Amino acid sequence: MMVGAMLEAAERRMILLIDGFIATAALLVASRLQPAVLDYCVFAHCSDESGHAKVLAHLGAKPLLNLGLRLGEGTGAALAYPLLQAAVNFLNQMASFDSAAISRQGEA
C-alpha cells in the first residue's frame, strides 16, 4: 500500500517526506518500479535501525536529520517537517537582489 501511495503521490507531483526504515524500504520498491519517484522525495532522518543507513546510501539519499531515533510513529518526519517548512518559507519570502535594491557583484 505504501508503494502504491508513493507512486501516486509522485505522479501528482507531490513531495514525499520519507520517514524511517519501513518507509525507505517501501520507497526502494517504488523506485524499482518507477525511478522518477526519487525526484519527489525528501528524507526526514536516518534511524538507528540496522540496515536503514545502507538503504539510504543505496538510494543516494541524504537525510535532513540523524538523531539515532528508533521510535516509529513518524517521529522523524514530525521533527523534520518544520525544517522543511522553514526552507520553503526562506525560498518564497527571501528578497531578491532586485527587490532589496542590492547591486550584484561585478555590475556597475
Give the Cβ contact number of residue 84 at 10 Å: 15
In single-letter form, the type of residue at position 43 comes to F
73 is catalytic: yes
Q: Which position among 8, 11, 49, 73 bears the catalytic label?
A: 73
Q: Is 82 exposed, middle or buried (0-12, 13-18, 19+ CB in 10 A)?
A: exposed
If you search the block for the grid coordinates 534511524, which residue do you land on? 47
Active site residue ranges: 73
